[in-house]
Chains A and B, each alone.
Chain A
Amino acid sequence: MLNYIWMGLILISVIFGAINGKMAEVGQAAIDYAKTGVDIALGLIGVMALWIGVMRIAEKAGLVTAISKIIHPIMKKLFPSIPGDSPALGSIVVNLSANMLGLNNAATPLGLKAMEELNKLNGMKERASNAMCMFLALNTSSVQLIPATSIAILVAAGATSPTDIVITSLLATICSTITAIIVVKIFESFSSEKTAGEPA
């Protein structure tokens, strides 16, 4: 699917670039954004090292598995394929918590860590598991308690009560999270999957 979306975006860009006489800008954007991609990734190295380092200490001390066990009764409906003693649930909870608190820098490394744990349980290595799809759905629609960036922009523009949007964001995000869970569950019911241990 991403193949078509990617091709579609580029094709639309070139067609509209031609119509709007913006071919030079489109070409320049391709070059600039290629550089931006590397800048972002290199900028992530530091925080990535920090959080994966801290998480490694937590893992070795058994903390991630402990969180998994505590959260398992609540999460097993969403992630039926993850066993209670896997550190995957713990990693997911840590990532979602970072998202909720608006700790964007910490969220990406912790999320990638969670994906790594989920991939260990994945029976088909290049195909997304149900648990991965559910995790990403929760992640991309995640409940944010503190929409820090939005508030910062409103504050900078001199809004009289910038924190008004906390409650509206929370309500909206609850709607989108519920939608995400329902949609993923519906999709899941239409397709089967193999888990680790079974022959792929």
Chain B
Amino acid sequence: MDILKQISDWAIPFMIVSIPLYAIIRFKAPVYEHFVEGAKEGFDVAVKIIPYLVGMLVAIGMFRASGAMDMMTSALKPVLDKVGFPSEIVPLALMRPLSGSGSLAIMSDLVKTYGPDSLIAKIAATIMGSTETTFYVIAVYFGSVGIKKFRHSIPSGLLADLVGIIASVVICYWIFG
């Protein structure tokens, strides 16, 4: 774990120093000029994704505020109790593909409610660590290059999330349960 953290700490400074260093030693490249030229593009990309971000986030924000999540959870609870899936996890599972900040808030809440060493907290942390905000990523990534037909990317992403969530529960039961 320490090694992983070290790699993670070193990665950014390493990339920022080694890439220009290689370019300058190998080709005497005008590294600063290349950097600035690329950086200009960064601004355009950030501005270009604004409409997609706003569109997605407004819908997600309204959904969060409406209380629909709580009602869906209570509707799903009897079914999930039957198969042994912890229903405490459901709001997190529903929020995870939609919103990073939303799912983080739910996870923090689960950790606080059930204690940081509880099985629920570990399942929640595992879900957060193994899945992504699929809708956000798809909307922003496709938006940035003007793709309108997403084809199978949404069903594939959601199915992968679902498997990730079920796997998190099963694996945590198996290792910690």
Contact = CB atoms under 8 A, between A and B. Distances in A.
B126 A165 contact: yes
B111 A132 contact: no
Interface string A34-72: 101110111011011111111111101101000000000
Contact of B57 (A19, A37, A42): A37
A160 B117 contact: yes
Nearest to A17: B66
A61 B54 contact: no
A150 B130 CA distance: 10
B12 A61 contact: no
Given A58-B19, A157-B111, A103 B151 contact: no
A135 B134 CA distance: 12
A61 B164 CA distance: 38
A128 interface: yes
A5 B150 CA distance: 12
Contact of B38 (A52, A180, A184): A52
A2 B59 contact: no
A57 B67 contact: no
Interface in B4-60: 4-5, 7-8, 11-12, 15-16, 19-20, 22-23, 26-27, 29, 31, 34-43, 45-47, 49-50, 53-60
B8 A53 contact: no
Given A1-B154, A176-B131, A183-B155, A36 B66 contact: no
B65 A29 contact: yes
B158 to A, nearest CB: 9
A173 B130 contact: yes
B120 interface: no
B42 A50 contact: yes
A142 interface: yes
A158 interface: yes
A21 B6 CA distance: 50
Contacts of A183: 152, 155-156, 159-160
Interface residues of B, number: 101
A158 B116 contact: yes
Contacts of B134: 140
B42 A45 contact: yes
B147 A33 contact: no
Interface string B141-156: 1101111111111111
Contact of B171 (A103, A132, A168): A168
Contacts of B46: 41-42, 44-45, 48
B43 A148 contact: no
A187 B156 contact: yes
A102 B37 contact: no
Contact of B155 (A55, A149, A187): A187
Given A112-B45, A165-B129, A103 B39 contact: no
Interface pairs A-B: 7 shortest CB-CB: A147-B129, A56-B38, A33-B61, A176-B164, A169-B129, A49-B42, A187-B152
28 contacts: A17-B68, A26-B62, A30-B62, A45-B47, A47-B42, A48-B46, A56-B34, A60-B23, A112-B141, A126-B148, A133-B153, A136-B138, A137-B156, A141-B131, A147-B129, A149-B129, A153-B125, A153-B128, A157-B115, A157-B121, A167-B175, A172-B130, A172-B131, A172-B167, A175-B167, A179-B163, A183-B160, A187-B156
